[in-house]
Amino acid sequence: MTGDGGSDASGVDPQELWLTSDRPRRGRKPAFSRESITAAAVALADAEGLDAVTMRRVASEVGAGVMSLYSYAPDKATLIELMVDHVSGELPVSGAPTGDWRADLKAIAHLQRALMLRHPWLPAALSTRRSLGPHTLAFLERALAALRPTGLDGAAKLEVFAQLTGFVAGHVAHEIAQAAAARSPERAAAEARYLAVVAADGHHPELAEALAAPGRALTPEATFTRFLNRLVDGLDSD
């Protein structure tokens, strides 16, 4: 318990993390940094998935002892929040509102999607908890600015942003799962075989028909854009 202003990452409030001032005047000098540890964790997750992010792996990646990490983040959940905010720093914060708030909102969603495709673990990490780090907040600020012309009240604007983010995360998660399934033909074949059995049992005529009608191959991008347009275009109808 160091009171406020210490650089250690303990504290009751999760938010207190983002408020820690950076340099204590006494004591041993830190050999690592929150930044480098977070970056290593992100690189690990990008390369091998979120499950590969263990305290031991991150520590060895960064050349530290395992327990040293706990000087920079009080627990693993916090480290993941740091990761989320870290990659959120890749989101452009400039690009002020154009006046067409629908277009602005769609552009924002596309930025989020691109980020999540670049860091496929992000939707899963977001589903655990909402982070409120500086980069996340900067992007939120941009989204709120874009929503200004709607005249919505504060709570509604925040709600729209949360909903939009949730929508993008859900879509990208699905998109990634599809891509992964397509990459392992054995799994895909097994599922197809199973569905064929179900379709043949006579109790699922609609499913049978849906599977029989091929439907044109649509890029994930196109599907995303279509649903996004539907959601955003309906946004001011109360």
Helices (H), ranges, the chain: 34-48, 55-62, 76-88, 101-118, 122-128, 134-147, 154-183, 185-200, 205-212, 220-233
Q: Please pick, from the candidates 28, 183, 193, 230, the single residue that binds DNA as defined by CB under 7 A.
A: 28
Q: Does 7 bind DNA (CB under 7 A)?
A: yes
Is 148 near DNA (CB under 7 A)? Answer: no
Q: How far is the CB of 90 from a copy of itself (least distance, A)?
A: 19
- The residue among 15, 223, 231 whose CA lies nearest residue 108 is 231
Question: Using CA atoms, how far apart are residues 102 and 16, in angstroms rounded to an integer?
Answer: 35
Q: Does 82 bind DNA (CB under 7 A)?
A: no
Q: Are 141 and 155 in contact (CB under 8 A)?
A: no
Residues 149-168 that bind DNA (CB under 7 A): none
Q: Which of 2, 15, 127, 163 binds DNA (CB under 7 A)?
A: 2
- Pick one of DNA, a copy of itself, none as the site partner of residue 149 (Cβ within 5 to 8 A by kind): none
Per the CB < 8 A criterion, the answer to whether 160 and 147 are in contact is yes
Q: How far is the CB of 27 from a copy of itself (least distance, A)?
A: 26
Q: What is the DSSP letter of 119?
A: S
DSSP secondary structure code for residue 121 in this structure: T
**From the list DNA, a copy of itself, none, partner contacted by residue 46 (C-beta under 5 to 8 A by kind):** none
30 binds, among DNA, a copy of itself, none (CB under 5 to 8 A by kind): DNA
CB of residue 185 vs a copy of itself: minimum separation in angstroms?
13
C-alpha dist (Å) from residue 72 to 28, 111, 167, 180, 183: 14, 29, 32, 34, 38
Q: Can you list the alpha helix ranges (DSSP code H) found in 49-153?
A: 55-62, 76-88, 101-118, 122-128, 134-147
Pick 34 or 64: Cβ nearer a copy of itself = 34
CB of 43 to DNA, least distance (A): 16
Residue with tokens 């109360």: 238
User: How many of the other CB atoms lie within 10 Å of CB of 161?
Assistant: 19
Question: Would you give the binding string for DNA spanning residues 53-72, x where CB under 7 A is met?
Answer: xxxxx------xxxxx-xxx
31 binds, among DNA, a copy of itself, none (CB under 5 to 8 A by kind): DNA
- Residue closer to DNA by CB (options 29, 230) is 29
Give the binding-site size for DNA (rule: CB under 7 A).
29
User: Interface residues with DNA (CB under 7 A)?
Assistant: 2, 6-8, 24-32, 53-57, 64-68, 70-72, 75-77
